[in-house]
Structure 1
Amino acid sequence: MVSELSGRVAVVTGGAAGLGRGIAERFVRAGARVVVADVDREAGEATVAALGPNAVFRPADVADPDQVWGLVQFAADSVGGLDIMVNNAGVSGTMHANFLDDDFADFARVMAVNLLGVMVGTQQAARHMAAHGGGSIINVTSIGGVTAGRSVISYRASKAGVIHMSKSVAIDLAEHGVRVNCIAPGNIPTGLLAGAVAGEGADGRVAAVRAVMAVSRPLRREGTAADVAEAALYLASDRSAYVTGVVLPVDGGSTAGAPFKAEDLVKLAVAGEAAR
């Protein structure tokens, strides 16, 4: 299975760090030529240097549709085509204590990167794929777009939009042999959460959020970028040739439900009352 992407070209946006880098690494090991796209030129160049000759860096800000178009053209003209598009680049909104405190200062940027960037990336990749025998588009959403929750509302809205958009265009593009699927990661340590929490005591707040995630996750171990990369490999490969329009959570079971026992719920209720 190690060479199941041999001869294929993939683009991974946000590929210089976190989940994107993990996906790029896995695709290279599976035999693909990978275009790592990122706004961070230094990190992107370091990533492709580590990945070897089958990886190339292309700077791109997915919030700019022209740069996304240029990215797809670069893959097609300079790397040899485009068989797999992973729209992974994303940003988090600022975490406010309450929705009523949100000033929406980061709304435009969150939507431009997380939703518009994915929509344009999907469209531009699909235009090439439709004319060249099909392909696989993988859009990285979040369990925050699957289940409701407090805080980072703009982020949650953007990720929910990715899901509905992806399902809709999966129907539209199926006649061209273009598959569109989503991965919904959850409870996986990346820099995204830290980016949502700023100011004094940020490290402590990040740790507290991670602790809540841990007790809300049925599987006891923490997820990794490699877990997400394996899901991406499946959706990119011929093993999923009959799969389109799905959302695959990679979250340790979190979207299935919290693993609290009855006595745990009682303790939480008592603690909540005491805190009032």
Structure 2
Amino acid sequence: MTATGDLEGKVAIVTGAANGIGRAIATRFVAEGAKVVVADIDTGGQGVAAKLGGRAAFFTTDVSDPAQAHALVDFTIEHFGGLHVLCNNAGVSGGLRRFLDDDLRDFERVVAVDLYGVMACSRSAARHMVDHGGGAIVNIASGAGVTPGIGMLPYRAAKAGVVQFTRCLAVEVGEHGIRANCIAPANISTDINAAFDKTTVTRLQPLPHQGRTRDIAEAALYLASDRAAHVTGLVLTVDGGMSLGTPPRR
């Protein structure tokens, strides 16, 4: 992709950026001129930041701990001199169990990371943005939080919470020049989704190809940039049309 400098002069945080979608978003943001803090509990994020050069830095963060979320924002401001964009991407999926067989052992961790972590990071970032000209918050939810389905109900419920939280956040902070939007990916080619059969997955969506992490990065770039200056409260599905329904296949 050709860089256009859409984030030149901006400072961003991307959580869960050691792998997959988060890494792709951090890479795209740096290519567009942003300085980026790669935040993750996985110290592999150090290598990601190193490859991105001096415009990136790594900060170990468990987003489910509000104190660590606050420390992340403080580090970003001290290291790069500000904060304009927060991308809440960190998440865990939990088990694949059907509900009647689920002992809900994953519930607390899934909700703590996928929903509470989004709220904690957003609060810390927004408190800074309020006094510094506004900003953009981009939350990564999931198609599982938009369209009903079977299995992984704690995950689906947490991601649905992210969708509703984003819309409410947009109403709460709009007066301060802060935009809050949400991306709902599905069927993206990542290590987490490697176990799913590609042929089966793509038969469930109108577009007959599996999504790539860069598809989500492009959507995040748009919502983070001034191109989306009049866009807030949006839930952008990037799912090959899967949420529309299963198409006929010859």
How far apart, CA to CA, are the structure 2 residues paired with 1:126 and 1:144? 26
SS in 1 for 2:8: coil
Name the structure where helix makes up a greater proportion of residues: 1
Q: 1:234 aligns with which of 202, 205, 222?
A: 222
How far apart, CA to CA, are the structure 2 residues paired with 1:92 and 1:246? 23
* 8 Å contact from structure 2 (residues 182, 236) kept in 1: yes
Name the structure 1 match of 2:112.
Answer: 112
Deviations along 1:163-199, one digit per CA (max 9) or x if unpaired, are 00110110010000000000111100223346xxxxx
Which stretches of structure 1, 4 residues or more, deviate above 2 A after TM superposition? Answer: 191-194
Name the structure 2 match of 1:9.
Answer: 11
Matches within 5 A, 1:141-160: 141-160=141-160
* 8 Å contact from structure 2 (residues 64, 120) kept in 1: no
How far apart, CA to CA, are the structure 2 residues paired with 1:23 and 1:155? 22
How far apart, CA to CA, are the structure 2 residues paired with 1:250 and 1:147? 13
SS in 2 for 1:110: helix
How far apart, CA to CA, are the structure 2 residues paired with 1:57 and 1:21? 12
Shift of 1:63: 1.1
Name the structure 2 match of 1:23.
Answer: 25
How far apart, CA to CA, are the structure 2 residues paired with 1:4 and 1:246? 20
SS in 1 for 2:180: strand
Matches within 5 A, 1:247-258: 247-258=235-246
* 8 Å contact from structure 2 (residues 85, 135) kept in 1: yes
* Structure index of larger Rg: 1
* 8 Å contact from structure 2 (residues 12, 37) kept in 1: yes
How far apart, CA to CA, are the structure 1 residues paired with 2:24 and 2:39? 13
Is 1:86 paired with 2:91?
no
How far apart, CA to CA, are the structure 1 residues paired with 2:196 and 2:77? 43
Give the aligned CA root-mean-square deviation in angstroms. Answer: 1.2
Deviations along 1:140-167, one digit per CA (max 9) or x if unpaired, are 0000000000000000000000000110
How far apart, CA to CA, are the structure 2 residues paired with 1:207 and 1:4? 35
SS in 2 for 1:243: coil
Name the structure 1 match of 2:54.
Answer: 53
Shift of 1:61: 0.6
Matches within 5 A, 1:137-216: 137-193=137-193, 206-208=195-197, 210-216=198-204
Superposition TM-score, scaled by structure 2 size = 0.96
Superposition TM-score, scaled by structure 1 size = 0.87
SS in 1 for 2:59: strand
How far apart, CA to CA, are the structure 2 residues paired with 1:191 and 1:108? 23
Deviations along 1:217-273, one digit per CA (max 9) or x if unpaired, are 111121101000000000011100000001001111111221125xx7xxxxxxxxx
Gapped regions of structure 2 (runs ≥ 5): none
